[in-house]
Amino acid sequence: MTGPRAPIALSQGDPSGIGPELALKAWLARKNDTHPYFVLGDAALFERSAQALGLAVPVARITPAEATKTFASALPIVDLGFPVKGVPGKPDAADAPATIAAIERGVRLVKEGHASAIVTNPIAKEVLYGAGFTHPGHTEYLGELGAALWGADDFPVMMLWSSQLAVVPVTIHVSLQRAINELTTDLVVKTARIVHADMQRKFAVMKPRIAIAGLNPHAGENGTMGREDLDIVAPAVAQLRAEGIDARGPLPPDTMFHAAARAKYDAALCMYHDQALIPIKTLAFDSAVNLTLGLPFIRTSPDHGTAFDIAGKGLANEASLIAALELASLLVERTSLA
């Protein structure tokens, strides 16, 4: 069991994206009660980035055990020994192994008790594929790492969380056609069970209310716009309710996300990626957090991508990374007290 005072591990993400800038700015915005964190990456990259961006951030090369005592005076970096080749805005495939190594090392440090959680900066999957990365995204890769290190048969579930809305896509990083083909009653049930359990365990919501969106417009309108909601989603809701889970649906997706509707549930289960992410990114683009449920460790991330177009220009908004660090810290505390 990892202690609540262990620092948080922060992966550098794609080094040619905005991850380094975000980490530097987040450190500058730290408060007296900020949970200490350390970056896994290339220390020289962060020194160059701080100088180029005019950010007064001293960088300290440390071991994980030194992170907490160092955090107040410098940004702690656990140097992985992978000098970055790319430049801001121009990713280099040669940096892919370093990006993958930072994620893996972070998870291992959590397993070993040297970190309390992992926060991941954005990656560019197309850059990683050339280095043998075979996963659709962070979520799926973290599930594999969790299974390998903890020996558990984990089922990772992606939640996008903000104070205004929490959403979970049942199918994630696949085409819309494939999402429809892969959608099953069992998948909806399995995903909702994870959401229910982690809302209780990590968010201390003892009786979570889960709103379940229909797949089709108007939730299929009793089969006139497709039978998927009658044949797949409705049976899942019935099964969940029979298990004592407060599941509601299938609900028309176009009326689920206004303020009065959001007040009636704790999390929204959506059938595909954009059905979930469009509303939360509209409501909380700069403050939403990507949280992976169903894992034996805590992982959060900013809810945005690498933003290569603004990398190195000093324009990146660190709010989502700060929110990810704060949520990870909160969940570490709640989990340790459970």
| pLDDT at residue 338 greater than cutoff 70 | no
- Whether residue 318 is predicted with pLDDT greater than 50 in this model: the reply is yes
What phi-psi label fits residue 112: left (phi over 0), alpha (psi between -120 and 50 degrees) or beta?
A: alpha
CB-based burial label for 217 (10 Å; 0-12, 13-18, 19+)? middle
Structure-token match 């049942």, residue found: 170
pLDDT for 2 beyond 80? no
CATH topology agreement for domains 1-154+295-338 and 157-293: yes
Query: Are the CB atoms for 267 and 199 separated by under 8 Å?
Result: yes
pLDDT tens for 160-211 read 999 999 999 999 888 999 999 999 999 999 999 999 999 999 999 999 999 9
pLDDT of residue 3: 44
- Give me the pLDDT at residue 336, please: 60
Find out whether the peptide bond into 296 is cis, omega within 30 degrees of 0.
no
pLDDT of amino acid 285:
87
- Tell me what the mean pLDDT of segment 73-85 comes to: 95
Q: What's the pTM?
A: 0.90
Placement of tokens 């003892």 in the chain: 206
Q: CA 188 to CA 1: how far, in whole Å?
A: 31
Is the distance from CB of 212 to CB of 251 less than 8 angstroms?
yes
Can you spell out the DSSP letters for 110-148? HHHTS-SEEEE----HHHHGGGT--SSSHHHHHHHHHHH
Which pLDDT score, from 0 to 100, does residue 106 have?
Answer: 96
Residues paired with 251 in a beta bridge: 213
Q: What are the tens digits of pLDDT across the range 233-276?
A: 999 999 999 999 999 999 999 999 999 999 999 999 999 999 99
Tell me how far the alpha carbon of residue 334 is from its chain's centroid. Answer: 18
Residue 197 host element (H or E): helix 185-201
Q: Which CATH class is domain 1-154+295-338?
A: alpha beta
pLDDT at residue 29 is higher than 80: yes
Would you state the structure tokens that stand for residue 67, as one six-digit string? 């992170």
CB-based contact 62:70 (threshold 8 Å): yes
Rounded CA gap, 8 and 291, in Å? 14
pLDDT-based confidence at 294, cuts 50/70/90? very high
pLDDT of residue 135: 80
pLDDT(1) > 60: no
Tell which wins on pLDDT, 329 or 154. 329
- The reported pLDDT for the residue numbered 143 is 86
How far is residue 104's CA from residue 305's CA, in Å, rounded to a whole number? 19
> At residue 70, what is the residue type?
T
Could you give the CA distance from residue 16 to residue 309 in angstroms, rounded to a whole number?
10
Mean pLDDT of the chain: 92
Sketch the domain layout of the chain as residue ranges: 1-154+295-338, 157-293
pLDDT at 76 over 90: yes
Residue 70: CB atoms within 10 Å: 19
* Least confident residue range of 78-87, 115-124, 144-153, 229-238: 144-153
Dump pLDDT digits (tens) for 104-124.
Answer: 999 999 999 999 999 999 998
Residue 53, SS3 per DSSP: helix
Residue among 249, 289, 285 at smallest CA distance from 269? 249
Q: What are 41's strand-pairing partners?
A: 79
Provide CATH code, domain 157-293: 3.40.718.10
Confidence at residue 134, expressed as pLDDT on a 0 to 100 scale: 82
As a whole number, mean pLDDT of residues 3-10 equals 81
For the segment 58-70, the average pLDDT, to the nearest whole number, is: 96
DSSP letter at 325? H
Q: What distance lies between CA 67 and its chain's CA centroid?
A: 23
Give the per-residue pLDDT at 148. 87
- Residue 76's SS3 state is strand
Strands 75-79 and 37-41, by their bridges, are parallel
Parallel, antiparallel, or unpaired: how do β-strands 267-270 and 59-61 relate?
unpaired
Cβ-based neighbours of 251, under 8 Å, separated by 6 or more: 211, 212, 213, 214, 219
pLDDT in the model for residue 127: 86
Q: Got the DSSP string for 266-316?
A: SEEEESSHHHHHHHHHHHHTTT-EEEEESSSS-EEEESS---GGGTTTT--
Residue 232 pLDDT more than 90?
yes
Whose structure tokens read 């989603």? 233
